[in-house]
Structure 1
Amino acid sequence: MTALATQPVAQATAPAARRRRRLRWQRSISPLVLLLVWEALSRAGALSPEKLPAPSTVLATGRRLAADGTLGAHLVDSLTRAAAGLVIGGVLALVLGAAAGLLRLGDDAIDPPVQMARMLPHLALVPLLIIWVGIGESMKITLVALGAFFPLYFNTYAGIRDIDERLVEAARTCGLGTWARLRHVILPGALPSLFLGLRLAIGAAWLSLVVGEQTNTENGIGFLMMEAREFSQTDVVVLGLFVYAGLGLLSDLLLRIAERRALGWRRGLRAA
């Protein structure tokens, strides 16, 4: 009897799984087409190899740098900076965003200065950060932390404030304490905004890292690109851009997977 009951469910979920796999493959078509067009234009001579080398040339350069360990070493340095800045900025954003969203005193004390600070482009603060923390690793990590802080803070704050107050009152009426309401009502209600903020924060962190690693750096993907620029090695510069883009795409993909698993109960609008 149980096997007969579960058979229709399995039959219904199988086409949906195949449809999701097909959509994932479809998302890779347009980037592949762009790369093929780029390669064709380069081979036809329409694109100068000194200005924009072919994707095959960039791939060969990547293999060479990966084989001698150069690319791996610089990649580890960049990932270390990005992770440190993201953790520092993310933790501060979650703590301050939760305090401002949950507490009236926190809202009055924290949100106004953060709202004023967000109007300042954090990448324009590089000269000031150099004066404050120097031109070493602290400046680069601070820049990444600033880039990650604001998107996550505002989405944490908005996610908490957008929760229907009637749900909180219903939980209180049912006898749930403060921690139980936070766990069963506020956290699930704020999770969609938290994931959105985290995706934006990771994107801003990579952007900040690109700028930070081009300022008095002796390692990292940004340093590799700047050194290649001095010797007009355009293929290495483009390779660095590909690495940054790939890291951003991979981090976003992993976060999407985590979001689907954490928010499996939520069904949003799907593209037709």
Structure 2
Amino acid sequence: MGNYFLIDTESACFVPDETAINTANYTQRHRRTSVGSSDRTASNMSHAERMAETQKLLDRAIADAWYTVKSDRRPPKLTPTRWVWRLAGLYHLCHPTPRLMEEAAQGFASVNRKSLAQWAAQKAREEAGHDQLALLDIQSMGYKAEAVVEVLVPPAAKALVDHFTQSVRDSDPIDCVGYSYTGERLAICRGVEYIQMVEALLPPRTNATRCLRVHSAVGTDVEHVKETIEMIAGLTPEERVRVSRACYKAALLRFSPPKERYISDEEIQNVLKPLEHINNHR
């Protein structure tokens, strides 16, 4: 029941400090730089330097989470049945995002943190309707989509949404920035090859990668990551450290295998069987 639907953990791709995080080259020399300690005085940095330093800070935090988890457990092989499970997880991740981001925007605005308020309000708009893409994908797989997401709630997705909700409702909702950045940064690790691999597993005439495409290297998340880095680069050093720590916490959740065993295809099929459409794979 783990997080594998969130990221292909065997091919994590982002590169902190020029070193891919899924290689052995990530050593103690990277760990020696604590989050935020690489900041230089803002007046001494160009815009490009500030952007690069900010991304390095955030990606190091995510990389550190990767190495903190360092699990040898691997989820079951992807199958059409398990893809429906992952789509249900994507739905539950997408569904509350516009509402929670609007709530965060109001929280930031109430204390006159304009750039954060504008960023959160934009996120609320950008993420609207993505849950519907997941429902369309599930329907294309031959199931009654709304019924599926009512009964299939992957624990990994629930844990992430609970964390996101708590972040938004904290006295300072800035941790939601790290949560959002981490999700989009990991999403763009999934490119055309990954999407094609999923599509090759699915039945003919199935259009069930709409939500995945939006949250991938071929979707809008690439630009969203850049926009978020630019916003974070304009925050105070203390705020940037807080965001990087939030990235670490969110990445821990995404990289950690489930405490319990992974759900089996048979168990998923038993839930899905009564929810099939009469005309499958429309």
Q: TM-score, normalised by structure 1?
A: 0.24
Q: TM-score, normalised by structure 2?
A: 0.23
State which structure, 1 or 2, has the greater radius of gyration over its C-alpha atoms: 1
